[in-house]
């Protein structure tokens, strides 16, 4: 193999390695973006449930209906917390987030 072909092969190898490194970095960035998006979604959902419970408290005057409505919302939030916990366990390194949807 002559020197020109050797340099061509080396150049090709370096180019291939650079592409692999860039691909790996892009994948890691995508995973981080997904984690951030997941966290923001959980935080938004938490706020929605808190607002919903506060709205129920302040707008429904019949105690029985109010308690039944709150129970339904709390059951939904409990199921959602279970799904979130299962999903979080699939992500390694996902930061802990507050998933308490009930009124504080």
Tokens 């308490």 label which residue? 100
What are the residue ranges in the chain where pLDDT is below 50? 94, 103-104
Residue 58 is predicted with a pLDDT of 92
Tokens 């949807």 label which residue? 101
Residue 72 is predicted with a pLDDT of 92
Residue 82 is predicted with a pLDDT of 85
Lookup: tokens for 20: 């692999």
Signed CA dihedral, 74, 77, 83, 87: sign only:
negative
Predicted TM-score of the model (pTM): 0.57
| Tens-digit pLDDT profile for residues 2-31 | 767 777 777 787 788 877 877 777 777 787
């Amino acid at each position: 193999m002559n020197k020109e072909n050797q340099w061509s092969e080396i150049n090709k190898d370096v180019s291939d390695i650079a592409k692999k490194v860039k691909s790996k970095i892009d994948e890691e960035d995508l995973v981080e973006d997904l984690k951030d998006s997941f966290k923001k979604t959980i935080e938004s959902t938490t706020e929605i449930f808190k607002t919903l419970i506060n709205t129920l408290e302040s707008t429904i005057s019949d105690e029985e209906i109010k308690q039944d409505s709150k129970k339904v919302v709390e059951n939904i939030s409990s199921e959602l917390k279970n799904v979130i916990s299962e999903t979080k366990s699939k992500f390694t390194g996902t930061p802990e987030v507050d998933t308490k949807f009930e009124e504080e």
